[in-house]
Chain A
Amino acid sequence: MTTDTLEARDKQPVEAEWTRPGPVFRPDVDVLERPDGYVIFADLPGADETSVDIKLEQGVLTLDAQLPTFPSESWTQVHAEYRSGSYHREFRLSKDIDAAAVSAKMRDGVLELHLPKSSAARKRSITVQAA
């Protein structure tokens, strides 16, 4: 596992031991920065809002999703191109993020995370008034 940082693109290895069964996948993400904050899109096909767990602790945002076993019925698999399992990825957040204002939503298996910048970090334009 690696930790992604929103400040730089260097990846850092993170030791992780898995206590749950099944494969764990690192979801593909897009990370965008806007003047007022960051937006992370993560591909989590098969996951819904109840299966996603997001934690923010000591500047590290941890994304976990556990999928229900599929298929539940006893189907015979005749062709396989992908496997289902859990998702896990960590992001080291820059210090300018307002942790209390982080929000998330799921749509069509894509998680959209909004990480607003703290008001101190936003660029402000100050109007100069005539005296």
Chain B
Amino acid sequence: MATTHLLRTRPTRAWPDVFDELRRDMDTLFHRYGEGPSARPRGVFPPVNLYETAEAYVLTAELPGVEAGDVHVSLQGSTLVLEGERKGAGSPTDASAHRIERPTGSFRRAFDLPAAVDGDQAEASTRNGVLMLRLPKAPEHQPRRIDVRGQE
């Protein structure tokens, strides 16, 4: 499994076994949607965006058709892992496919967050096929107000 560095502040680490695992995952995914008449190569699934606020990081991922129960999020240190399965429309035997463009299969992505987050306070929700993860920054990365005192 390859780690996506969400900010390129750290050197990319070589994880050969992890890359092999990713390649297998990707082969599965591409094989499954290479069957369709208009399949085209695409980037990794799911695509994500990361936003930063003063107190938290917010990660969003486009996961249309993935129910909340089919996506799993885990956090270890500043490494976030997103994995799950996107099930197909469940084509019954009496249906013939004219066009299959929507990818199906299992997915797994790892992200190296720019800073440590407070995993206990993390929140995840899905809405209209978009996953939103709110990851409050660890206390040492939270903005702190320091009062300036005058001389007494």
| Chain B window 26-54, contacts with chain A (Cβ cutoff 8 Å), 1 for yes, 0 for no | 00000000001110000100011111110
How many Å lie between the Cα of A41 and that of B87 in the bound state? 13
Instruction: Looking at the assembled complex, report how far the CB atom of A93 sits from the nearest CB atom of chain B, in whole angstroms.
Output: 12
Are the C-beta atoms of A41 and B102 separated by less than 8 Å? yes
Are the C-beta atoms of A81 and B64 separated by less than 8 Å? no
Are the C-beta atoms of A73 and B99 separated by less than 8 Å? no
Residue B85 at the A interface, CB < 8 A?
no
Chain-A contact segment, one of B15-23, B89-97, B117-125, B141-149: B89-97
Nearest-CB residue, chain B, relative to A49? B128
How many chain A residues touch the partner (CB < 8 A)? 36
How many Å lie between the Cα of A66 and that of B57 in the bound state? 26
Are the C-beta atoms of B62 and A33 separated by less than 8 Å? no
Are the C-beta atoms of B129 and A9 separated by less than 8 Å? no
Known: A44-B64, A45-B63, A80-B49. A29 touches B95 (CB 8 A): no
Are the C-beta atoms of B101 and A79 separated by less than 8 Å? no
SS of B interface (majority): loop
Which residues of A from 34 to 74 have beta carbons under 8 Å from B?
34-35, 38-39, 41, 43-48, 70-71, 73
Residue A18 at the B interface, CB < 8 A?
no
Best-buried of B6, B95, B97 by chain A (most CB within 10 Å): B95
Are the C-beta atoms of A108 and B65 separated by less than 8 Å? yes
How many Å lie between the Cα of A46 and that of B64 in the bound state? 8
| Interface residue ranges, B against A (CB under 8 Å) | 6-7, 36-38, 43, 47-53, 57-58, 60, 62-67, 88-89, 91-92, 94-103, 114, 126, 128-130
Could you jot down 14 A-B contacts, CB within 8 Å?
A29-B102, A30-B97, A33-B98, A41-B65, A43-B129, A44-B129, A46-B129, A48-B128, A71-B58, A79-B48, A79-B49, A82-B48, A108-B126, A109-B130
